[in-house]
Amino acid sequence: MKRFILLVALASVLGLVTAAAGPAEPSGSVKPACADIVGGSTFFSGTVASGGIDLAAPSCRSVRYTMVVYVYDNSTNQVSTILSQTLRSSGASNVHPFSIATPPANYACVYFVTSKGELGDKDTVVLDTAPDSGCPTTLDTSLFNTLAAGSSPGGQGYF
């Protein structure tokens, strides 16, 4: 039950992130610069999602860096599981690696969030999302960040 409540809370915050996403912000407009995602890459094996982000400046202790994975049910193409991993400051400009074990699936959608506070907390401030569109709750294979098992989009579009 505790896990279900956590997933509902995370989904509601992440839904706000996805709904609020708009066109890409101009380079350098995200403050602080250590929260500005300027590049990234992902890979989905079918049971593990991995990736990393590049920042405009070295990471900060006050910012949380999160990879979010939507895993789609193989029969309904609806999100069946939302997973996330949050990293604290490493002091490096390139924040790596993120790696999340997932239930077996044919597709997953991956995006990144920088924030002040933990995603799911009511006082969290989202600073940047990459790609800016986040992920949909229904499978959309036309999005570059929706990955078929065994694929990677490379670094395209993550900023």
Q: Is 146 a residue whose pLDDT tops 90?
A: no
Mean pLDDT, residues 5-25 taken together: 41
Give the global pTM. 0.79
Write the pLDDT tens digit of every residue in 45-59: 999 999 999 899 999
The band of 13, judged by pLDDT with boundaries at 50, 70 and 90, is very low
Share of the chain above pLDDT 90, in %: 45
Average pLDDT value over all residues in the chain: 80
Mean pLDDT, residues 83-89 taken together: 90
With 0-12 / 13-18 / 19 or more C-beta atoms within 10 angstroms meaning exposed / middle / buried, residue 27 is exposed
Q: Is 154 a residue whose pLDDT tops 80?
A: no
The band of 136, judged by pLDDT with boundaries at 50, 70 and 90, is very high
Both tokens assigned to 72: 């789609």
Both tokens assigned to 106: 């044919």
Residue 41 C-beta-side C-alpha neighbours within 13 Å:
8
Q: Between 36 and 152, name the one with better pLDDT.
A: 36
Mean pLDDT, residues 109-128 taken together: 91
pLDDT recorded at residue 159: 53
Walk me through the domains of the chain, giving residue ranges and CATH numbers. Answer: 2-154 (2.60.40.10)
Tell me how far apart the 2 most distant CA atoms of the chain are, in Å. 42
